[in-house]
Amino acid sequence: MSKRTVCLQTQKLYKSYQSKAEKIDVLSGIDFDAFKGETISVIGASGIGKSTFLNILGTLDQPDSGKVFIDGQDVFAFSDDERSRFRSRSIGFVFQFHHLLPEFNALENTMMPLLIQGMRRREAITRAKEILDIVHLSHRLNHRVTELSGGEQQRVAVARALIHHPSVLLADEPTGNLDQKSSEYVHSLLKQLNQHFQITLIVVTHNMTLASLMDRCVTLKDGQLIEKV
């Protein structure tokens, strides 16, 4: 059996918040490995810190202490500018709300990250068309966000997250605003994209159907990740 490659790793990750009354420990020394191409769901009670954990993995938030490695890079050893550039290249995000720009169409929203990175428009258009075809939206390229269904909007958001071919895709309740049919479609799509791109997928979700589709399911409880056997 070939040795699996670690894509993302945390070492002794701590995070707490100070309320008026007390200090709240959210993450208490978490050690975590995610392998290249692996899919992992993170479940747990509301307010337990799942989104905080995901935001730290994605470098949107910083831990109090501990390390996060992505593709072997110690991401919190970078300067803010270096970390921002690394994030834009290596990490994709999908949130509960799509955060698409309503004044632009599906194609323009999808290719926006590439234009921001300085890619030539013609090349960005080609790549965006390719990824929108993969998420089955090639017939909706020129439709504005308001002309798309909720499920289609979220598929554009997924396409935008993958447009720069990241190593890791982090999804925070990606189907939380969708009806059952659209949710099932996005569930299937995420798995297909994981297999197509061999991307590491980590999903925070309350949807146990989506959680069960992942290779592994871990529960965040009392500041620790508990592996479901």
- In which element (H, E) is residue 192 found? helix 180-197
Q: pLDDT per residue over 55-107, tens digit each?
A: 999 999 999 999 999 999 999 999 999 999 999 899 999 987 888 999 999 99
CB contact at 8 A, 158 and 193: yes
192 located within any domain: yes
pLDDT at 1: 39
Q: pLDDT per residue over 18-66, tens digit each?
A: 877 788 889 999 999 999 999 999 999 988 899 999 999 999 999 999 9
Helix (H, G, I), strand (E, B) or coil at 25: strand
- In which element (H, E) is residue 131 found? helix 121-134
198 located within any domain: yes
Segments forming the whole domain that contains residue 121: 6-227
Rounded alpha-carbon distances, angstroms, from residue 55 to 49, 62, 63, 142: 10, 8, 10, 32
CATH number for position 88: 3.40.50.300
Number of separate domains in the chain: 1
CB contact at 8 A, 218 and 41: yes
- Angstrom distance (rounded) from CA 110 to CA 125: 9
72 located within any domain: yes
110 located within any domain: yes
1 located within any domain: no
Has residue 175 got a pLDDT over 90? no
Has residue 161 got a pLDDT over 60? yes
Please name which of 110, 109, 112 lies closest in space to residue 134, comparing C-alpha atoms. 110
pLDDT at 229: 59
pTM (predicted TM-score): 0.91
159 located within any domain: yes
